[in-house]
Amino acid sequence: MQLSYPMDPALVAIEHKVDEGIPLSMADGLALFTTPDLHNLGRMARKQKERKSGKKVFYVLNRYINSTNVCYAGCKFCAFAVDEFKEKDRVVRMAADVVFAKAIETGNNFNQIHIVGGHDPRQLSLDYWVPLMRKFKEELPHVQLSFFTAAEIEYMAKRHRMSFAEIIGTLKDAGLDNVNGGGAEIFAEETRKKICPNKVNSENWLAIHEELHRQGIASNATMLYGQIESLEDRIDHLIRLRESQRKSPGFNAFIPLAFHPDGNELNDCGWTTGLDDIRMFAVSRLMLDNFDHIKAYWMIQGIKVCQVALEFGADDMDGTHGSTDEELIYHSAGTSSGQYVDDREFRRLIEAAGYEPVRRNSTYDEFPHDWTPPEMAKV
């Protein structure tokens, strides 16, 4: 017997707009965030997901490294940043050869290396990164470099007195394939000033991604939710991303980042709930009609919420990471996720949800699940 749920009348007109390809407005976004009709919200998001990627759900065999946690940006939501003079014992600052060695510690069968760090004056420079990027490209040509966030790129541009176009050109030449979506936080200026006053501003974050796309480098986008932002701030953020993608296309995935409260100044905000998270995925999918992928990142949401998110518009679970303990951002802020997920586990969860698991790289080229790289790294 087919069960059906009476539909919230507010969703009827919105579903019609989505079906017609009409971008949703601020008022539509508010209705989606506040509807009590979670079932139909999920159904609409799932329908939109299936228009984009059918039954496919993506994952990547990758390595994840935070190469430094030294950072002087002073963001209020951050438990990761360390002041090297005040907290010497907590400093992680890897030499370039250590980053390379950690990446291949558990083999070379991976398609992406994801690296983000902090505003570290000793590490965030072209002298450090360009030779390391070239080494990755020479020794592991099958691995895509998913390095930096726009915040780090702005920091390096200022430091080297280069324009965004110049620094991006230099990084592209060194082998950059993709830029991570961090640093976006929340674009609404009043809220942004309160949570990350010293970080790249919204205008520059968007300008950097638009320039990346013009130069043919893919990127992702994120939003930090569940801190002090309003629902209007969230929708404004999604609309600015949609507009940016229209102007200069190149975003592959949007990743909602649930705020983690441990060890930072916004601790009073507490944890998001499972329902906040699920709703966030569905609303993102419906607002961002020109983004192909909405990523439910297991390390951030917990793997069970991510599996449920597949019913609410998500089509990506991110990657395996390496089986070493390198992730610090979420592990400093209280995540109870581990450091590693076996790719068989991704496939099991995706299949159990009724979808088809697809192995990918950063730019969503597809691989058989048992693909292995043609050449061994010279270790």
* Residue 40 in contact with ligand V47, rule: CB under 6 A: no
Taking CB under 6 A as the criterion, the residue among 157, 308, 329, 358 binding ligand V47 is: 329
* Residue 78 in contact with ligand V47, rule: CB under 6 A: yes
* Residue 77 in contact with ligand V47, rule: CB under 6 A: yes
* Residue window 102-121: x/- pattern of binding to ligand V47, with contact defined by CB under 6 A: --------------x-----
SS3 27: helix
* Residue 349 in contact with ligand V47, rule: CB under 6 A: no
Which residue, 49 or 114, has its beta carbon nearer to ligand V47? 114
Q: In 144-161, which positions are buried (b, 16+ CB within 10 angstroms) versus exposed (e)? A: bbbbbbbbbbbbbbeeee
Pick from 223, 228, 226: which is nearest to 195 by CA?
228
Q: Kindly determine how many residues on this chain lie close enough to bind ligand V47 according to the rule CB under 6 A.
A: 22
SS3 of the chain: helix, strand, coil, percent, to 5: 45, 15, 40
Footprint of ligand V47 on 202-221 (CB under 6 A): 220
Alpha helix locations (H) across 219-302? 231-247, 274-287, 298-301
Taking CB under 6 A as the criterion, the residue among 48, 264, 320, 337 binding ligand V47 is: 264
* Residue window 140-159: x/- pattern of binding to ligand V47, with contact defined by CB under 6 A: ---------x----------
In whole angstroms, what is the distance from residue 44 CA to residue 176 CA? Answer: 36
Read off φ and ψ for residue 220, nearest 5 degrees: -120, 170
Stretch in the footprint of ligand V47 (CB under 6 A) among 3-11, 72-80, 102-110, 206-214: 72-80
Which residue, 259 or 355, has its beta carbon nearer to ligand V47? 259
Residue type, 17: K
> What minimum distance in Å lies between the beta carbon of 83 and ligand V47?
16
> What minimum distance in Å lies between the beta carbon of 323 and ligand V47?
19
Read off φ and ψ for residue 139, nearest 5 degrees: -95, -25
* Residue 183 in contact with ligand V47, rule: CB under 6 A: yes
Q: In 316-326, which positions are buried (b, 16+ CB within 10 angstroms) versus exposed (e)? A: bbbbbbbeeeb
Residue nearest to ligand V47 (CB): 182
Find the radius of gyration of the CA atoms of the chain.
Answer: 20
- Which residues are near ligand V47 by CB under 6 A? 77-80, 116, 149, 180-183, 185, 220, 222, 224, 255, 257, 259-260, 264, 297, 329, 333
